[in-house]
Every structure is written in structure tokens, then in C-alpha cells.
A and B are shown apart, each in its own frame.
Chain A
Amino acid sequence: MPTFFEEKQLVTPGELLAEGDYQAGENTYSEGGKIFAARIGLVDCENKKVNVVALRAFYTPKPGDIVIGSVIEVGFNGWTVDIKAPYSALLRASDVLNRPFKPQNDELSQVLDTGDLIVAKIASYDRAHDPQLTVGEPGLGKITRGQIMRVTPTKIPRVIGRKGSMISMIKQETGCQIILGLNGVVLVTGKNLADEELAMAAIQKIEDESHTTGLTDRITQLLKEEKAKREENKN
């Protein structure tokens, strides 16, 4: 039952990873008892399950995911939302209005118009249907202020950190509210522009160095240094 990789090795699609008693995990596939990589990324193996942490990937919708999207079309009884995935998502009018939707009473473009950004949860998605969104939970809905940035969707777990350590640290240090869309869109809302920019710089650093260890410490350091610099400038 051999494997053909070192832990954290960089592999390209089609590279043979393992043979025999192994399970094909993320971004891999098995054929004829052999496991191959399906995306470029770094390999790791846990409990006989071979995974590739992809360096290049796009977002695939999953029910329950929180995503950030922009409205691209106002339809008859809902909106079409771009969630940076292979499929655009649908948001039903009755879901937003919280009551049955009557076209004669409600003008949809006054609730959400094209270009509006929303935080939403994926209510359902399968092969045959485009993802359906819902905003019927606290914290979801139209975005009114803040800045958005994009990161590679596969790197979102790294931004969150172990048990949310990374993200809560950034929130604390910058005083910003941060919402991470699992589709790779991040919303940063702070008291002022400088705070927001600092938080975004930290997230960008995570995106660039996502594969290294000791990242939390380096980010803490970055934030502290930047804050000290700002204090100096004030004086």
C-alpha cells in the first residue's frame, strides 16, 4: 500500500498519489485502485484519506454556507444573485419580505436593486437546480456599509483559523466587523477607513502566505506594528 508523495508536496493534476488501501479525499479521484490529484495543490494524508489542498479553485455551493453576492437581476418574484460560483443563485421575494409576495403591492427593485450586495445563506442546491438563497436569519441581508474584498475560496478556512482564532484576533485588534463569505468574498466594516484598510491588509497577507505556519503570530505582529505607526503619525 504505497504512497507516492511527501507530506505537503506540491502536486499537479494527474499525479499518482497512492495505491491500494487509501481513500480519495478532496481534489483527488480514484481509478483502478489508484488515487490521483485532480487540482494543483499541496497533498496531505489523514487516516488513510488523501487530500489535496487546492491552490487554485472556484467556489462550489453547499447548503448552509454563508455567502456574499451581488444582485444582477430583478425578476418577477425574486432576484438573481451572482455568488462567484459556476451557477448564479436565486433569492425569492417571499423570503425577503417575510410574507406572501403580491406583485400589485410590492415593487421588488425598491427592496433590492441590481448592484446591491447581500449576505445570504444557501438554502438548497443540487445538480439539477441553481442554488436558492435565504436571508431569513439574523446577520443576513442587504449590506449597507463597509468594504468587500476577494480571496481564493479554499483559503477561507485559513482566514478563520483554528476554532476561529485568526479571525477573532483580527476583529479584536482592528475593531472591525468581518463577515467571511465561503465563496471567497469578505466584508469588512469598521469605524473608519484606516481600520478597514488594516483588516484588509491582514487578510491579504493571510491569502498570500496561507501555506506557512506561525501565521497567527505574524499577523498579530503586523497589526501591532501598523497601529504603532499610526499612533506616531498622530503625535
Chain B
Amino acid sequence: MIDKQEKLIDKKGIRLDGRKADELRPLKLEVGVLPNADGSAYIEHGKNKILVGVFGPREMHPKHLSRPDRMVLRCRYHMAPFSVQERKSPAPSRREVELSKVIREALEPALFLEMYPRTGIDIFVEILQADGGTRCASITAAALALADSGIPMRDLVVACAAGKVDDTVVLDLYDAEDKLGVADVPVAYMPNLNAVTLLQMDGILTHAEFEKAVNMAIDGCKKIYALQKEALKTKYMHIKEETQEEVEE
């Protein structure tokens, strides 16, 4: 039996990786990184590195999976064998199948599925390096890739987790906090429509703590949304600048 776990948060309220309780990990977002895909995005969220490719809408194969009245969204979340310390078998695990479903359901409300019946969209999420909170980072990147592919969307989807570590509610848990902490609450959110599309909880929280965690996660989502929007616009920023020059002329 191991000794009593060391504290994850010190007396000053600083976490093991040096962050404050309500601080996000550093984020880097990039759009349109895969020329072969219809839309793509890359995210670095702390030590997470995730690549997302989107194909479609296109005809469904196999055909029997297509729906006569709506478009079908398919999602594959996959972790590279080298994404974690111990080699991960490349075959889809129980966890990956679940996360594929969860990511798909978080993104579905943002799409106009009834617009293109009998077709399908494929989202491929590839985790190159994992460090806790990959489902949230995947959703954020997948929403960007969808927007990049030119598929009409109601809103972008952003996701961020909050949780409880030691006795404190904290934002954006990383691997160690996720594994040793008390609870983890991932939230996906559509900022303009003010709608939550994913809400999970792993662990035990009181009512008050849960509410605090959800609000904290939504605040985190809003911060990430600003970065997400900027990343999408950066690709076309020269266009905006040029049109502005014209107006000034």
C-alpha cells in the first residue's frame, strides 16, 4: 500500500503544474492542416496533441447506414500507440468507442443534419499525445475542422473540463489530477446559443460543488471559444485586412 497521497494543491492554492485553480493550460489551435481532408484542425492543449480530419458530406458507405431524412454523422476517436507512456494497443478499446459516441453526440446539435439527407460526414480524431482532457480538446478541434470543411453549423462547439482535486474545485484537469483527483466534469458548450451539448461526471461532488464546477467549465469554454474563433479567422485574416484596406481607400 502506498503512503497517503501527497497534496495536489499547495497552501497558496497553486497546482502541481504551477497553475491557479481557475487557470487553463496553454492552448494552440490551427485550422486547415491536412490538404487531403475536406476540413481539418490541430490542437495543442497543454501536453495534449490532437489532429482532426473531416470528410463530407458524401454518400454513405455502406449504403444501408444512410438515413432517408437526414445526414449521418460518424466519428472515430483513436489514440496513437505512442500517445501514452505505456504502449496503447491500436485496436479500438471500450473507452475509445465510448468517446467516439460522446464526441459525436456533442457535435450533432451544431449541425443541420436534415439539410443533406442520405449523406454522411466522417470525423477522424487522432490523439498523438494524451495528457488528460482529450475528449474536450477533441470536441474543440473537431468543431473547427467542421467549420473549415464548409459544412453549415448553428454554432461552434467548445469543450472544457472542471473537477475537484483535494478539496478544491479546479478548471481544466490534466492527467495526474484526473487520475488522483476526486471528480472530473467535462462540459461541451455552444457559446452563442448558450447550450450545453455534453455533460459528464466521473467521481463524487456535492450539489454546490457540481454547480461551481459546471459554471467554471463554461467560463473556461468561453475563453477557449475566443481562441477558437481567432484560429478560424487567422486562416482568412489576409482577406479581412485586404477588404478593410479597400474600405479605407
A contact residues vs B (CB 8 Å cutoff): 7-10, 12-16, 27, 29, 31, 36, 38-40, 42, 54-58, 86-88, 127-128, 209, 211-213
Are B38 and A58 interface neighbours, CB within 8 A? yes
Does B107 count as interface, using CB distance less than 8 angstroms? no
Task: Report the separation of the CA atoms of residues A98 and B247 in the bound assembly, to the nearest whole angstrom.
Answer: 54
Chain B residues in 8 Å Cβ range of A7: 247
In the complex, A160→B68 CA distance in Å? 36
In the complex, identify which listed stretch (B113-121, B169-177, B206-214) lies at the interface while the others stay far away. B113-121
Closest beta carbon of chain B to A152's beta carbon, Å: 8
B58 to chain A, nearest CB (A): 6
A sample of 15 cross-chain residue pairs with beta-carbon separation below 8 angstroms, ordered by A number, consists of: A7-B247, A13-B153, A14-B156, A36-B155, A38-B112, A39-B152, A40-B147, A40-B232, A40-B236, A55-B236, A55-B239, A58-B150, A87-B59, A211-B243, A212-B243
Q: Contact at B38–A12, with CB atoms within 8 Å? A: no
B interface, CB within 8 angstroms of A: 38-39, 56-59, 68, 110, 112, 116-119, 147-150, 152-156, 190-193, 229, 232-233, 236-237, 239-240, 242-243, 246-247
* Cα distance, A8 to B248, chains bound together (Å): 13
Contacts of B38 in A (CB 8 A): 58
Q: In the complex, what's the smallest C-beta–C-beta distance from B122 to chain A, in angstroms? A: 13
Give the 7 A-B CB pairs with smallest separation, nearest first. A14-B155, A56-B150, A13-B153, A38-B152, A86-B57, A14-B192, A57-B150
Instruction: For residue A63, give the distance in angstroms from its CB to the closest CB of chain B.
Output: 17
User: How many whole Å from B158's CB to the nearest CB in chain A?
Assistant: 10
